[in-house]
Amino acid sequence: MIWIAIRMLTGDRTKFYGLLFGIAFSTLLITQQLTIFVNLIERGASGVYNVAEAEVWVMDPVSRTTDIAYAMPTTALDRVRGVPGVEWAVPHLRANAAVRTDTGDLEQVAIIGVDDATLIGLPKGMVEGSRAVLSRPDSVIIDDVGTTRMFPDQPTPVGEVLELNDQRAVIRGMADSIPSFTSTVVLYTRYSQALRYVPGTRNRLSFVLAGAADGVAAAELARRIEAQTGLRARTRDEFAGDGVDFIIENTGIPFNFGITVVLGFIVGVAIVGLTFSLFIRDNIRQFGALKAIGVTNGKIVRMVAAQAGMVGAVGYALGLLGTVAFIWVFGSDPTFKGFYIPWQIPLMSLVAVALILAITGFFALRNVLRTEPAAVFR
Amino acid sequence: MSPQNAQTDHTAAISTRGVTRDFPAGQDVITVLHGIDLDIRAGELTFLVGESGSGKTTLISIMCGILWPTEGEVQVFGTDIYDLTDTALVEFRLANIGFIFQQYNLIPSIDAAANAAVPLIARGMAVEEARAQATEMLDALNIADQADKLPSQLSGGQQQRVAIARALVHEPRLVVCDEPTAALDAKSGRRVMDLLREVAVAEDRACIIVTHDNRIFDMADRILVLEDGRITHDGKDMPEEH
Ligand SMILES: Nc1ncnc2c1ncn2[C@@H]1O[C@H](COP(=O)(O)OP(=O)(O)OP(=O)(O)O)[C@@H](O)[C@H]1O
Ligand SMILES: [Mg+2]
């Protein structure tokens, strides 16, 4: 009977392709929208993701995210180093500055001061130049997405001289980093150098980044640091979550874009449901005749399940391929840099497609399963 | 009907007792069958005739287990079919009953042979084997050359013969036909009737045919006339007034 079911499905090419297209399009709509949504709000955690080494972020109790940090006195570093289980701890500075380019433009940039000795705080990968260039005086490393913004028509920013709060800064490399939510231009420099670029107050230590000794879990270490120093300590995952939460709570993105995502989801589900229930309805007489001849409800349900399974699997695969192609094609665009498809999203759309096929199949079939088969011979 | 008829005849292929059927008609209910007590004997070709709307299709639908009577009982080969569960009744039909209705309900996307093979496939036979067996049946109906065509590529008469092949391919004990020769010329009609007689008329089998086709009345073993939901004639020949 499965053979007949598949023939019924593929027999009318136009309807079959229409059904496939509907499911593929809906899958694309759902996965693509959700992917963009998740990646966009995950930009709130890019500051954490860019520092792969830091297991625990230590900060002033009022600090909230990598971008919203209240500076601590430099003594905090030693206090953290004094906590048992801390393998290493380094200073980390984040500040904003205005920069004047040689063309005279003014641009707001983020300055990140990384540990002088270990360069912890600097992204691991470089697009151009080496991380070692920071040891030269006045060196800064710019982030790749910031480059496209600050030097859009230039093959390379390396060698450019900037004026940072009246101090000279020479771009000597380009880091491969995940852009921030606002795609602010980021300049990485040594901590000691950063202190000169960021004028001002006594307290200029935004974070202390720490690593745990062998056998000490990050969460446990964070608790110890908090208990012993009175500072706020967050594990890498927690702090990434804080960044995402901040975007969710403080921008219109989740609400506005969320509505779009929900609408996309509803439209997708509606398309799948409608096309499939139309397909079943078109075949209702044949199912009725099969039941009259002697095909049990159980077998009819299995036939429809086979049809749903086939069209669902192929349509879903096409839709997912479409999403991957979309990310791949637009991945070179700085806006989409580093976009990935979290595994939960394809799973969600798979569940949505499967569920809606099952539900519409059930409702469309209900009449055949219940009523007197004679009805189809009238 | 006489009182002794109310007793179930155990040699009958089908016996109906007090079968009525109502249909909703807007606010009202119309009663289409009024207490049908009937025994269809095995080994006979039984014709059911009557004016349009007299309830012929309704009656044979009830007899072949696809339409529930409002009241009354139906036994087919000794089984009280409307006492069966839904699934058991479906399986009973597959094992025992073949039918041809005015609506053929062929599956448009499979060819004539596969359509005729549906009951065999439903019984679990492999598709190719079932098609081969169905093609033999199509051959007996003189349309073996159409076996590979889709229903949409067939004429009305050819489609009807595919439906007939589908009804007979699994050699059911009871065959029920609603106007099986209506779409056919005299020669094809005869051929169909011969085949029905061959397949469906045997000691342990039965065949009921609804027909208006006076060209084939002479082939009947028994003719029943239905008028306004009541059996008004039962005999070897047609009554005078028809
Ligand atoms: N499902 C239904 N719903 C409502 N009325 C019905 C239904 N089935 C049959 N009827 C009515 O019952 C009556 C008998 O119908 P039936 O189809 O049994 O007649 P018939 O003798 O087969 O006629 P024909 O020779 O035209 O095929 C008709 O008046 C018809 O309108
Ligand atoms: Mg009729």
Q: What is the pLDDT of residues B94-129, one digit of tens each?
A: 999 998 888 888 999 999 999 999 999 999 999 999
Atom 29 of ligand 1, residue of closest alpha carbon = B53
> B58: Cβ below 6 Å to ligand 1?
yes
Smallest CA-to-CA distance from B172 within B98, B117, B240 is with B98
Cross-sheet strand order for the sheet of B12-25 = B28-41, B12-25, B71-76, B79-80
- Spatial distance between the Cα atoms of A10 and B158, rounded to a whole number of angstroms: 24
Share of chain A above pLDDT 70, in %: 99
What is the domain class of B44-54+83-235 according to CATH?
A: alpha beta
CB contact under 8 A, B118 and A8: no
Probe residue for ligand 1, chosen from B21, B28, B31, B57 as the CB with the greatest number of ligand atoms within 8 Å = B57
Tokens of A16: 């079959």
Beta strand pairing call for B97-100 and B12-25? unpaired
Buried b or exposed e, range A120-130, using 16+ CB within 10 angstroms: bbbbeebbbbe
Q: What is the pLDDT of residues A160-196, one digit of tens each?
A: 888 888 888 999 999 998 888 888 899 999 999 998 8
Categorize the per-residue pLDDT at B242 as very low, low, confident or very high, splitting at 50, 70 and 90. low
B95 φ/ψ angles, rounded to the nearest 5 degrees: -80, -30
> B50: Cβ below 6 Å to ligand 1?
yes
Q: How far is A355 from chain B (nearest CA, A)?
A: 26
List Cβ neighbours of A25 (8 Å cut-off, separation of 6 or more): A268, A271, A319
User: In 3-state terms, what secondary structure has residue A45?
Assistant: helix
Given CB atoms, is A298 within the 8 Å cutoff of chain B? Answer: yes
Least confident of A250-254, A289-293, B174-178, B210-214: A250-254
- Best probe of the B interface among A3, A282, A293, A299, by most B CBs < 10 A, is A293
Using a CB cutoff of 5 Å, list residues around ligand 2, an ion.
Answer: B 57
Residues B163, B168, B172, B174, CA torsion sign: positive
CB contact under 8 A, A3 and B121: yes
The residue ranges of every structural domain in chain B are 44-54+83-235
- Give Cα separations from A306 to A302, A354, B52, B140, B153 (angstroms): 6, 12, 41, 34, 27
A92 φ/ψ angles, rounded to the nearest 5 degrees: -145, 125
- Spatial distance between the Cα atoms of A240 and B138, rounded to a whole number of angstroms: 72
Residues B183, B187, B193, B198, CA torsion sign: negative
Interval between CA B53 and ligand 1 midpoint (Å): 5
Tokens of A17: 């392709």
Residue with tokens 């002033």: A60
Q: What is the pLDDT of residues A53-64, one digit of tens each?
A: 999 999 999 999
Start-to-end C-alpha separation, chain B: 22
Categorize the per-residue pLDDT at A209 as very low, low, confident or very high, splitting at 50, 70 and 90. very high
Provide the pLDDT for residue B5: 44
Probe residue for ligand 1, chosen from B54, B178, B231 as the CB with the greatest number of ligand atoms within 8 Å = B54
Q: What are the start-end ranges of the H helices in chain B?
A: 56-63, 86-96, 112-116, 118-122, 127-140, 156-168, 186-200
The residue ranges of every structural domain in chain A are 2-43+252-377, 73-230
Contact B151, B113 (CB under 8 A): no
Provide the pLDDT for residue A201: 66
Asked if the model's pLDDT at residue B3 lies above 60, the reply is: no
Q: What is the pLDDT of residues A319-348, one digit of tens each?
A: 999 999 988 888 777 777 778 888 999 999
- Spatial distance between the Cα atoms of A165 and A172, rounded to a whole number of angstroms: 19
Asked if the model's pLDDT at residue A368 lies above 80, the reply is: no
Q: How many CB atoms lie within 10 A of CB B239?
A: 12
Tokens of A175: 């880091």
Given CB atoms, is A19 within the 8 Å cutoff of chain B? Answer: no
Least confident of A160-169, B73-82, B109-118, B160-169: A160-169
Asked if the model's pLDDT at residue B10 lies above 70, the reply is: no
Q: What does chain B come to in residues?
A: 242
Contact B166, B143 (CB under 8 A): no
Query: Span B169-188, mean pLDDT?
Result: 88
Categorize the per-residue pLDDT at B228 as very low, low, confident or very high, splitting at 50, 70 and 90. very high
Burial status of residue A96 (CB atoms within 10 A of its CB: 0-12, 13-18, 19 or more):
exposed
